[in-house]
Amino acid sequence: MKQTTGEIAESVRRSLDRYFRDLDGAKPRAIYDMVLKNVEKPMLETVLDKADGNQTIAAQMLGINRNTLRKKINEHKIKP
Protein backbone atom coordinates (compact mmCIF):
# COMPACT_ATOMS: atom_id res chain seq x y z
CA MET A 1 0.00 0.00 0.00
CA LYS A 2 1.34 3.41 -0.93
CA GLN A 3 1.74 5.95 1.82
CA THR A 4 0.50 9.40 0.85
CA THR A 5 1.97 12.64 2.13
CA GLY A 6 -1.09 12.98 4.37
CA GLU A 7 -0.31 9.62 5.95
CA ILE A 8 3.29 10.64 6.52
CA ALA A 9 2.13 13.86 8.17
CA GLU A 10 -0.27 11.89 10.36
CA SER A 11 2.57 9.57 11.40
CA VAL A 12 4.61 12.59 12.46
CA ARG A 13 1.63 13.98 14.40
CA ARG A 14 1.12 10.68 16.23
CA SER A 15 4.81 10.47 17.07
CA LEU A 16 4.84 14.03 18.41
CA ASP A 17 1.70 13.40 20.46
CA ARG A 18 3.40 10.34 21.97
CA TYR A 19 6.57 12.39 22.59
CA PHE A 20 4.60 15.04 24.51
CA ARG A 21 2.73 12.39 26.52
CA ASP A 22 6.01 10.70 27.44
CA LEU A 23 7.60 13.93 28.70
CA ASP A 24 5.85 13.38 32.02
CA GLY A 25 6.06 17.07 32.99
CA ALA A 26 9.53 17.72 31.58
CA LYS A 27 9.96 20.77 29.33
CA PRO A 28 10.33 19.96 25.63
CA ARG A 29 13.57 21.14 24.02
CA ALA A 30 14.81 21.50 20.42
CA ILE A 31 11.80 19.76 18.91
CA TYR A 32 12.47 21.10 15.41
CA ASP A 33 16.01 19.67 15.27
CA MET A 34 14.87 16.41 16.88
CA VAL A 35 12.16 15.85 14.27
CA LEU A 36 14.39 16.77 11.33
CA LYS A 37 17.19 14.47 12.49
CA ASN A 38 14.78 11.59 13.06
CA VAL A 39 13.06 12.00 9.69
CA GLU A 40 15.90 13.08 7.42
CA LYS A 41 18.29 10.16 7.90
CA PRO A 42 15.80 7.34 7.23
CA MET A 43 14.39 9.35 4.31
CA LEU A 44 17.85 9.70 2.76
CA GLU A 45 18.67 6.04 3.36
CA THR A 46 15.41 4.90 1.80
CA VAL A 47 15.72 7.12 -1.26
CA LEU A 48 19.36 6.12 -1.77
CA ASP A 49 18.30 2.48 -1.57
CA LYS A 50 15.52 3.03 -4.12
CA ALA A 51 18.07 4.77 -6.37
CA ASP A 52 20.45 1.77 -6.00
CA GLY A 53 23.01 4.07 -4.36
CA ASN A 54 23.11 6.45 -7.31
CA GLN A 55 23.45 9.86 -5.70
CA THR A 56 22.51 11.77 -8.84
CA ILE A 57 19.22 9.89 -9.13
CA ALA A 58 18.59 10.12 -5.38
CA ALA A 59 19.17 13.88 -5.44
CA GLN A 60 16.71 14.22 -8.32
CA MET A 61 14.13 12.14 -6.43
CA LEU A 62 14.60 14.34 -3.35
CA GLY A 63 14.51 17.59 -5.32
CA ILE A 64 17.91 18.72 -4.06
CA ASN A 65 21.26 19.05 -5.78
CA ARG A 66 23.88 16.32 -5.54
CA ASN A 67 26.28 18.42 -3.44
CA THR A 68 23.56 19.00 -0.85
CA LEU A 69 22.84 15.27 -0.79
CA ARG A 70 26.54 14.48 -0.28
CA LYS A 71 26.70 16.98 2.57
CA LYS A 72 23.68 15.37 4.23
CA ILE A 73 25.11 11.87 3.71
CA ASN A 74 28.25 13.00 5.53
CA GLU A 75 26.30 14.79 8.30
CA HIS A 76 24.26 11.68 9.01
CA LYS A 77 27.21 9.32 8.54
CA ILE A 78 25.34 7.26 5.97
CA LYS A 79 27.38 4.48 4.41
CA PRO A 80 27.43 4.56 0.59
CATH topology of domain 5-75: Arc Repressor Mutant, subunit A (1.10.10)
pLDDT at 74: 97
**Start-end of H helices in the chain:** 5-22, 31-50, 55-62, 66-75
The answer to pTM > 0.85 is: no
Contact at 8 Å (CB) between 58 and 48? yes
Give 27-75 pLDDT, tens digit per residue.
999 999 999 989 999 999 999 999 999 999 999 999 999 999 999 999 9
pLDDT of amino acid 24: 87
Q: Is the pLDDT of residue 10 over 80?
A: yes
> Rounded to the nearest 5°, which phi and psi values hold at 63?
80, 30
Evaluate if residue 1 carries a pLDDT over 90: no
